[in-house]
Amino acid sequence: MGSSDSPLVELLIVFVIVYLLQIVTAPAGLLGSLFVLSAPLVENPWTVVTSVYAHGGIGHLISNAVTLVVFGWPVARATTRVRFHLFFLLTGSLAGISQILFSDALAGVPFLGFAASPGVLGASGGVFGVLGYLLASNRLSSTIAAMVTLPLWAAVVGVVVLAGVLTLATASPGAALIAHFAGLVFGLGAGRLGLLRDSE
């Protein structure tokens, strides 16, 4: 990887360091309070950040790392290191917060079958944000968007439907589906606006 890909390398290193810290702190019973984002959000506010880089196991870490490298390198090459890291952290944090808030709210609706989230950790919200950004900011999608004028409500419905389909297509047992969906929505919106474009 060239220098433009270094944000990906840096993120992978952070994943590994945080995972090692999880292993070290787990025997002391600190895993939840240091790395798992859970309700109430104000109880351990640092987990809004640490949960984005923490993982539930080595398989979880590897799957997120591989997906990040596959979809993240075009995004990393098209922006600055600082923008990429801030985007990943912000998208991952907002996705995790969405998982906690909306799963708790939806748990009260019996026919939906949602359970309150006991906690969330993992980079998948940020990874789905990067995927959403890539889908919405590439030349093909930009060309199509330039040719087709949609009212705002139709664009919003399109984003929600696309995010919903991709979320369900990549669903797996125990996955934080609301976080995946939220990450995609944030990424698609950011990609459409070109928030990571490097103007330098």
Predicted confidence at residue 192, as pLDDT, reads 85
Side-chain half-sphere exposure of 43, counting CA atoms within 13 A: 11
pTM: 0.82
* Alpha helix ranges (H) inside 54-200: 58-77, 81-106, 124-137, 139-147, 152-169, 177-193
The chain-wide mean pLDDT, for the chain, equals 83
CA dist 166 and 169 (Å) reads: 5
**Count of CB atoms situated within 10 Å of the CB of 23:** 11
Predicted confidence at residue 148, as pLDDT, reads 61
**Count of CB atoms situated within 10 Å of the CB of 45:** 10
Residues 75-90: pLDDT tens digits?
999 899 999 999 999 9
Q: Is the peptide bond before 27 cis (omega within 30 degrees of 0)?
A: no
End-to-end alpha carbon distance in the chain? 21
Task: Give the residues of the chain that fall short of pLDDT 70.
Answer: 1-5, 106-116, 139-156, 159-160, 162-164, 166-174, 198-200
Predicted confidence at residue 150, as pLDDT, reads 58
CA dist 160 and 179 (Å) reads: 13
Cβ-proximal residues to 136 (8 Å cutoff; 6+ apart), any chain: 187, 188, 189, 190, 191, 192
Predicted confidence at residue 194, as pLDDT, reads 86
Residues 113-131: pLDDT tens digits?
566 677 889 899 999 999 9
Predicted confidence at residue 171, as pLDDT, reads 61
Phi, psi of 120 (to 5 degrees): -140, 140
Name the burial class of residue 198, with classes exposed (0-12), middle (13-18) and buried (19+) by CB atoms within 10 angstroms of its CB.
exposed
Predicted confidence at residue 200, as pLDDT, reads 47
Domains annotated for the chain, with CATH where assigned, are: 3-193 (1.20.1540.10)
Give the three-state DSSP class for 90: helix
